[in-house]
Amino acid sequence: PRKVTISSLNKLKKQHMPITVLTCYDYPTAKNIEHTHTTQDGINIALVGDSLAFTALGYTSTSQLTLDEMIHHCKAVSRGASTPLIIADIPFGYVGLSDEAAVGAAIRLVREGGVDGVKIEGGAKEARVIAKVVDAGVPVIAHAGLQPQRATQTSGFRVQGKTAGSALSIVEDCKAVQEAGAFAVLLEAVPPQLGDYITERLKVPTIGIGAGGGTDGQVLVQNDMVGAFDAFRPRFVRVFGDVGGATGEAIESYAQSVRARDFPSAEESYTIEESKWNEIRE
């Protein structure tokens, strides 16, 4: 399969073919995504989201995730997937600190983490720093609407753009980040009408999560959609499988088999000739 490119994503938008995006955090979850390309078109963008703080590391907030931790996971992902475009979140703190800090973080994610580009939460206020990262040669997806790294400031994970003022400012955010050179805009938790409105007005593809069915693409958190993480479940999650349930059952039946001395069987054990063993024993 051919490596996904920014131009192939633009082509999908033009042809009204939905763009598929899914998060991944390590070698096996990246392999899950790479594997989809052996039988079909598969997942176009593999996102090493900072949701890895919750889903893989057990933190209670994405703001606890460090850049070194993110890079560690990006390395594993880039070893597991090669066909999708691989994008990493710039962890909390760098974009807010300075343009240099954000550019430095982006370059480390590409050079050390092996990713193709980065995602930056923000809008009009972050347009300048997005332009700097793009100037440095790192492709950027901007993330507008609900911005999880600002969840405390916005009093939790809540739908955005439900007032005229808020909707208008999200539209302005999207235009500003496109102007700054972002090659796509991720739109989180906005009414579907706003998702459609923005998608029709942007030249670059929109990727929605909780933004309705009209965006150019969709993204979900892999652990959520395979049913492997259920600490909380936003409205926009659809659970397509029960990996968590299957894993739990498998572990229970393993423990039962060990206790019943049903595991391991003779077939699961090594063999030695009886005469040989008798020699050893003497």
Q: How far is the CB of 187 from ligand KIV (least distance, A)?
A: 9
Buried b (16+ CB within 10 A) or exposed e, 160-196: bbeeeeebebbbebbbbbbebbbbbbbbbbbbeebbb
Rounded-to-integer distance, Cα 236 and Cα 213, Å:
11
User: Is 50 near Na ion (CB under 5 A)?
Assistant: yes
Binding span for ligand KIV by CB under 6 A among 1-9, 31-39, 45-53, 266-274: 45-53
CA angle 213, 142, 191 (to 5 degrees): 30
Contact 23, 48 (CB under 8 A): yes
- Residue window 88-117: x/- pattern of binding to Na ion, with contact defined by CB under 5 A: -x----------------------------
Binding span for ligand KIV by CB under 6 A among 12-20, 46-54, 122-130, 255-263: 46-54
Q: Which of 188, 267, 273, 274 is catalytic?
A: 188
User: Is 144 near ligand KIV (CB under 6 A)?
Assistant: no
Question: Amino acid identity of 6?
Answer: I
Q: Is residue 188 annotated as a catalytic residue, yes or no? A: yes
Single residue of 20, 44, 51, 218 touching ligand KIV by CB under 6 A:
51
Buried b (16+ CB within 10 A) or exposed e, 1-10: eeebeeeebb
User: Is 224 near ligand KIV (CB under 6 A)?
Assistant: no
CB atoms within 10 A of CB 258: 11
Total number of residues that touch ligand KIV (CB under 6 A): 10
User: Is 209 near ligand KIV (CB under 6 A)?
Assistant: yes
Strand 140-145 to strand 184-188: parallel, antiparallel, or no bridges (unpaired)?
A: parallel
Q: Can you give the binding site for ligand KIV, defined by CB under 6 A?
A: 23, 49-51, 89, 186, 188, 209, 219, 221
- List the catalytic residues: 188
